[in-house]
Amino acid sequence: MRRAMLAVVCGVFVMASARERRAEPQGGATIAGKIKFTGAKPANPKIDMSEEPKCKAKYQAPPTEETVVVNPNGTLANVFVYVKSGLPESYKAPAPAGGVTLDQDGCRYHPHVLGILVGQPLEIKNSDGILHNIKAKGTKNRPFNISQPTTMTSTRTFTAPEVMVPLECNVHGWMHAWLGVLPHSFYGVSGADGSFSIKGLPPGTYTIEAWQEKYGTQTASVTVAGSETKTQDFTVAGK
Amino acid sequence: MISALLALGLAAGAPFPLPPSPLPVQDTVKGKVVYEKWCAGCHGETGAGDGPAAAYMLPRPRNFTGAVYKIRTTASGQLPTDADLLRAIDEGLAGSAMPAWKGRLSDAERRDVLAYLKTFSSFFADTSQHVVALKFGGEPGGGTSAEALKVGRQFYDSIGCRKCHGDQGRGDGPSAPTLKDDAGFPIFAADLHQSWRFRGGATAADIYRRLRTGLDGTPMPSFSDLIDQKFLTDEQLWRLAQYVRSLSPARTPEVRDVIHAPRLAAALPAAPGDSVWDRVDRYWLPLVGQVIRKPRWFGPAVSGVWVQAVHDGKSVALRVSWDDRTRSPDTTWLGFERRVLETVAGDDSGGGRTAGPFPDQLAVQFPRRIPEGMERPYFLMGTETDAVYQWRWTSAGGSGAAGGAVGGLARGLERFDTLPGGPAAQTSYEHGEWRVMFTRSLATPDTANELQFAAGRAIPVAFFAWDGSSGEHGNRLAVSTWYFLALDQPTPPRVFVTPVVVMLLTLGLGIVVVRRVQRRQA
Amino acid sequence: MNWRRYADHPFWQAAALLVAAYVVIVYVVPLFPGSALVPKSVVLQYMATVLVGVLIYVSDNEERWIRFREPIHAALVEPRLRPVRAGLLVAVPALVGLVAYGQVRTTVAAPPNLRSIHPAPPSEITFRGKTITLTGLDNPLRQHPESSAAYAADGKRIYYQNCLPCHGDHLDGQGHYAPGFNPIPANFQDNGTIAQLTESFVFWRVAKGGPGLPREGTPWNSAMPRWEDFLTEREIWSVILFLYDQTGWKPRTWETAGEAGKRKGDD
């Protein structure tokens, strides 16, 4: 159920970036790949939701944290892959098409990892209807902390690129999400099959970085031309 | 020229609030000198909140490099105004180590230092940052009426304050053991019964502002979105602030030297919750960290105790109440306890400490006998050669008649010898508050070791408290110095006779004087 | 004008002066920074002093003394002032009775704390087994003026890690633990503490702390630790250097006792 939702959210992303590509004629190349995972699969800590019966009722098995989500096909979900450098000086980011939604449902964040453009609205939705607070702990962006004790949506924007801005709820210490704030929309988040794709790139040589909350970052250099698709996989070794 | 004029204006005490425009550059040069002399010891040379004293404090000194400030009048996420920062410098932050610098540094020095500390973060130089104080309406009247407080309490429940602050506001909510600030240090949900320790001030208006702005850098969020989206009216938020204010005494408790124990004609209270206690004056005695003997402790959890006493001519009853978020030993707080022990430096930090499910403890200390002169035993639990008589209570004790309390002799912090036949003790723990009631007969057979209480005398008394879930154990505790307990005597008749005699004599003298003068005149 | 007649009159001047003195002592003095409420017994003493002063002034001049006595005399004899006379005869005894009640009422007060703030120091002490002669001793670190900045910096770090909770950021004895202690921690900014003392005295107080005080220093109350258990001899001298450096006081020296109580740059 959750994975399906994640896939839908990812789909929305793809559609959003596709729409932006139409608005952005600067390039048509794609970098795609998979995040492979090797080694022992770490167990995510179980979450005790007994203080929040409304959330607890949304799960059949006890929910766990999402620090390392290994897919059935041996790949990693929730890895943020983005163009770190290499865009021409002249590149201008497209105006954001709509906002990005972060939902608090079942006392967890959906999605767990997401990207956003500088200036693009982040719509923070409380679907649980119980007290959450949403705290953004950026250092390049001003941190904030909003109370949402009921079903409601608060909107905030970010002023500076920052990978990543940690988001958390202090009422529920297990709730964490990660927000990549970028000056461009060349990013992707690995989904339920471990794959990501960054589309609409102008020709050039790029440094792309893959970020995972526990295992940190890896970078790769990729050169693309025209409308070709280059594959760049990453391998994360479990510890 | 302009700066000279401005300096003149500053010297003359320009009115508040200051405009948010940055102060002239030369002020930051002077500010640096002031900062390095008076501020860097805690806040660090680079403003990172890491001066030599920082590790000995909880909460830690502010790290200026992120420009994240708790006490503001601006929206969550915005920079503070100059007036906000100046307020913290001028008045200090109650309940923390930050003193009020007004009167300690000159007006010009304080403003220079304000200008300088803004240079630690690039956010203040960023002109795209909005620094606009929120518009706070006036406080609606009737804030202490039962009706208003009922509304406030209703919102206290409905918007989930109890999640961290607990059902009765003592910071004992279910989420409290998980709280950390942005730097990862453990942070306590405020005890709403001690408004005099609120960093941003104790009035309902101060509390309302904190609700609107949140305390950035901490888990305390802003509730402004709720008002903007009409989930809550401004008045309802004010009622909540007024309710929170009502949990603390109307005025900061005054520390008095002598605890008076009235003599009751009726029976002594039977339990810590007995209604007799509601009619007896209570005394606030502050406790501070034990920083005298190794290993010292710089993170005391119990900031003070409320003490009440009564007697009936045969026995004395003493009730000590204090706020404690945890009914220790409590394993749900073990993680928090570990973080506290890692955060607070001391002689035994760095591996010498282990967290454990320690109990809560209390010691009430007396000399072995009422001193005749001014000499008494050493306040910190006596010495090897001059023991003190103590009542010791522990939350891990049995549930028998003594309720986990014993009497005994302490000979310094490290040694305590139990005596047979201690005081009777009864205990209650409700919503973050311990109440321990000790009862003992005034006289006992062991006159050599046990204090023999006597009415009408100033009996030295001191208090010590341990919060097990903050890692307090052994020498890690909160201490007081000597205070006095006085058991009231029945009023002797001369108290009423003497003034009457004196009045009659004065009247007679007056009449004689008037007569004589009048006669001479005639 | 009527009020002018009163304003010029020595009796009413004296009365106004007494009222003004009372208001200043009871309500204005506590407003000064660093002042506390004036205790009742002290108020009584001050008022008595003011009264004596006023009486000396009015009796100094014969004419003034006569005019001063006029209203008193009038109140005692004038038939038209009979109600005032009766009122005084009731009010004065009532007031005296009230004071008498306050005196004989049995309240237990804290015993007076007769504490010698600077008790006589010993001529020598044993510091971690080493005998140190205090008489004639100056801060040995001052023999190396080229390193004094480094010593003071050391002393600053030691102060902030050890002394600050009680003696405070401003060295004025108002640290965040100070309200928990009685006697309150020493105020180094005050001209009555380190400004009046030799550095060897300060060394003795730091090294031996509260437990090392003689009886007249009420060692049982002092929360001052025995710092020889925590700090080395050199660390203590560094802190002492810092105390003088930060406050600007000069230590009292053995040769020129008259130098004490001066800040740097006072002369």
How does pLDDT run across B177-232, given as a tens digit for each residue?
999 999 999 999 999 999 999 999 999 999 999 999 999 999 999 999 999 999 99
> For residue C235, is it within any domain?
yes
Q: Do C43 and C81 lie in a common domain?
A: yes
Q: Write down the pLDDT at residue B271.
A: 94
* Contact residues, chain C, for B97 at CB < 8 Å: 164-165, 169, 175-176
Which strand (E) or helix (H) includes residue C244?
Answer: helix C233-247
> For residue C112, is it within any domain?
no
B380 touches chain C (CB under 8 A): yes
Q: Do C54 and C181 lie in a common domain?
A: no
Q: Do C89 and B510 touch (CB under 8 A)?
A: yes
B46 Cβ contact list (under 8 Å, min separation 6): B65, B120
Show which of residues 106-145 on chain B sit within 8 Å of chain A, judged by CB atoms: 123, 128-129
What token pair was written down for B492?
């002797």
* Contact residues, chain B, for C110 at CB < 8 Å: 257-258, 458, 484
Query: pLDDT for B70-122, tens place per residue?
Result: 999 999 999 999 999 999 999 999 999 999 999 999 999 999 999 999 999 99
CB B228 within 8 A of CB B190: no
CA-based nearest distance B64→chain C, Å: 18
Q: Do C138 and C77 lie in a common domain?
A: no
* Contact residues, chain B, for C185 at CB < 8 Å: none
Which of B32, B25, B68 lies closest to B49 in space, CA to CA?
A: B68
Q: Do C69 and C131 lie in a common domain?
A: no
What token pair was written down for B427?
């205990």
For B109-166, the DSSP string reads HHHHHHHHHHTT-GGGG-TTS---B----PPPS-TTSHHHHHHHHHHHHHTTTHHHH-
Is pLDDT above 80 for C130?
Answer: yes
CA distances, C175 to each of B96, B383, C23 (Å): 10, 27, 32
CA-based nearest distance C22→chain B, Å: 24
* Number of folded domains that form chain C: 2
Q: Do B225 and A173 touch (CB under 8 A)?
A: no
- Which residue type does B464 have? F
CA distances, A181 to each of A114, A123, A137, A221 (Å): 9, 14, 13, 21
- Residue B137's CB: how many other CB atoms inside 10 A? 10
B108 touches chain C (CB under 8 A): no
Q: Do C90 and C180 lie in a common domain?
A: no
Tell me the mean pLDDT in the region B405-433: 94
Is pLDDT above 80 for B11?
Answer: no
Show which of residues 451-510 on chain B sit within 8 Å of chain C, judged by CB atoms: 456-458, 479-482, 484, 486, 488-489, 491-492, 494-495, 498-500, 502-504, 506-507, 510
Tell me the mean pLDDT in the region A181-200: 95
- Residue B81's CB: how many other CB atoms inside 10 A? 20
Determine whether B383 is exposed, middle or buried from the number of CB atoms within 10 Å of its CB (0-12, 13-18, 19+): middle
> For residue C97, is it within any domain?
yes
> For residue C45, is it within any domain?
yes
B453 Cβ contact list (under 8 Å, min separation 6): B311, B316, B440, B442, B443, B459, B487
What token pair was written down for B329?
């030993």
d(CA B353, CA B347): 10
Which of A187, A179, A189, A204 lies closest to A91 in space, CA to CA?
A: A204
- Closest partner residue to C161 (CB to CB) among B56, B504, B506 is B56
Q: Do C100 and C150 lie in a common domain?
A: no
Q: Do B221 and A150 touch (CB under 8 A)?
A: no
Rg (CA), chain B: 28
> For residue C38, is it within any domain?
yes
Strand, coil or helix: what is A62?
Answer: coil
Q: How confident is the model at residue C266 (pLDDT cuts 50, 70, 90)?
A: low
Residue from B96, B302, B374 whose CB has the most chain C CBs within 10 Å, to mutate: B374
Domain end point (choices C54, C76, C104): C104
- Residue B296's CB: how many other CB atoms inside 10 A? 20
Please name the residue that has the structure tokens 């002598």: B258
Query: pLDDT for B38-73, tens place per residue?
Result: 999 999 999 999 999 999 999 999 999 999 999 999
Query: So what's the ipTM on this one?
Result: 0.89
d(CA B407, CA B438): 11
Q: What is the CATH number of the domain that holds C164?
A: 1.10.760.10
d(CA B435, CA B427): 6
d(CA B149, CA B144): 7
Indicate contact of B with C: 3+ CB pairs under 8 A. Answer: yes
- Which residue type does A2 have? R
Q: Do C85 and B514 touch (CB under 8 A)?
A: yes
CA-based nearest distance C179→chain B, Å: 7
State the average pLDDT for chain C: 89
CB B457 within 8 A of CB C108: yes
CB B89 within 8 A of CB B111: no
CB C240 within 8 A of CB C203: yes
Who wins on pLDDT, C7 or B364?
A: B364
Measured between CA atoms, the residue of chain B closest to residue C212 is B378
Q: Do B481 and C180 touch (CB under 8 A)?
A: yes
β partners of residue A103: A110, A125
Q: How confident is the model at residue B2 (pLDDT cuts 50, 70, 90)?
A: very low
Is pLDDT above 80 for B133?
Answer: yes
Q: Do C199 and C169 lie in a common domain?
A: yes
Is pLDDT above 80 for C201?
Answer: yes
DSSP class of residue C186 equals P
- Residue A161's CB: how many other CB atoms inside 10 A? 15
Q: Write down the pLDDT at residue C263.
A: 73
Residue from C69, C82, C108, C229 whose CB has the most chain B CBs within 10 Å, to mutate: C108
The string over C140-175, giving b where at least 16 C-beta atoms fall within 10 Å of a residue's C-beta and e elsewhere, is ebbeeeeebeebbebbbbbbbbbbbbbbbbbbbbbb
CB B457 within 8 A of CB B370: yes
Residue C229 belongs to domain spanning: 124-259
Indicate contact of B with A: 3+ CB pairs under 8 A. Answer: yes
CA-based nearest distance A71→chain B, Å: 30
Is pLDDT above 60 for B161?
Answer: yes
Strand, coil or helix: what is C18?
Answer: helix
Is pLDDT above 70 for B166?
Answer: yes
Measured between CA atoms, the residue of chain B closest to residue C230 is B294
**Other chains touching C, judged by 3 or more CB pairs under 8 Å:** B
B237 touches chain A (CB under 8 A): no
CB B361 within 8 A of CB B302: no
Q: At what angle do helices C82-104 and B494-521 cross, to 10 degrees?
A: 150
Is pLDDT above 50 for C15?
Answer: yes
Q: Do B217 and A143 touch (CB under 8 A)?
A: yes
Element counts in chain C: helices (H) and strands (E): 9, 2
Q: Do C96 and C147 lie in a common domain?
A: no
d(CA A50, CA C126): 62
DSSP class of residue A160 equals S
Q: Do B500 and C97 touch (CB under 8 A)?
A: yes
Strands (E), chain A: 29-38, 80-85, 100-105, 108-110, 113-117, 122-126, 132-136, 144-148, 152-156, 162-168, 176-182, 187-189, 195-201, 204-212, 216-224, 229-231, 234-237
- Closest partner residue to A131 (CB to CB) among B160, B216, B220 is B160
State the average pLDDT for chain A: 89
Q: Do C253 and C147 lie in a common domain?
A: yes
Tell me the mean pLDDT in the region A220-226: 94
A12 touches chain B (CB under 8 A): no
> For residue C115, is it within any domain?
no
Q: How confident is the model at residue B493 (pLDDT cuts 50, 70, 90)?
A: confident
How much helix, strand and coil, in percent to the nearest 5, is found in chain A? Answer: 10, 45, 45
Q: How confident is the model at residue C125 (pLDDT cuts 50, 70, 90)?
A: very high
What token pair was written down for B209?
């502002």
CB C134 within 8 A of CB C122: yes
Q: Do B158 and A51 touch (CB under 8 A)?
A: no
> For residue C72, is it within any domain?
yes
Q: Do C148 and C247 lie in a common domain?
A: yes
A230 touches chain B (CB under 8 A): no
CA angle B455, B460, B465 (to 5 degrees): 120
Q: Write down the pLDDT at residue B93.
A: 97
d(CA C206, CA C222): 12
CB C125 within 8 A of CB C227: no
- Closest partner residue to B99 (CB to CB) among C33, C101, C170 is C170
Domain end point (choices C104, C136, C158): C104
d(CA C161, CA C173): 15
Q: Do C171 and C138 lie in a common domain?
A: yes
Q: Write down the pLDDT at residue B170.
A: 97
**What percent of chain B is predicted at pLDDT more than 70?**
93
- Closest partner residue to B514 (CB to CB) among C76, C112, C219 is C76
A54 touches chain B (CB under 8 A): no
Measured between CA atoms, the residue of chain A closest to residue B124 is A142
Which of B75, B470, C228, C160 lies closest to A142 in space, CA to CA?
A: B75
* Contact residues, chain B, for C96 at CB < 8 Å: 502-503, 506
Show which of residues 115-154 on chain B sit within 8 Å of chain C, judged by CB atoms: none
- Closest partner residue to B502 (CB to CB) among C97, C169, C210 is C97
DSSP class of residue C159 equals I
Is pLDDT above 90 for B483?
Answer: yes
> For residue C265, is it within any domain?
no
Which strand (E) or helix (H) includes residue B222?
Answer: none
Domains in chain A, CATH or no CATH each: 2-237 (2.60.40.420)
CA-based nearest distance A134→chain B, Å: 8
Q: Do A142 and B123 touch (CB under 8 A)?
A: yes
Element counts in chain B: helices (H) and strands (E): 12, 14
Q: Do A147 and B158 touch (CB under 8 A)?
A: no
Instruction: Look at the alpha carbons of A147, A148, A150, A156 in this order and tell me if their dihedral is positive or negative.
Output: positive
Q: Do C238 and C136 lie in a common domain?
A: yes
Who wins on pLDDT, B522 or C13?
A: C13
Q: How confident is the model at residue C99 (pLDDT cuts 50, 70, 90)?
A: confident
Is pLDDT above 90 for C100?
Answer: no
A44 touches chain B (CB under 8 A): no
Strand, coil or helix: what is C28?
Answer: helix
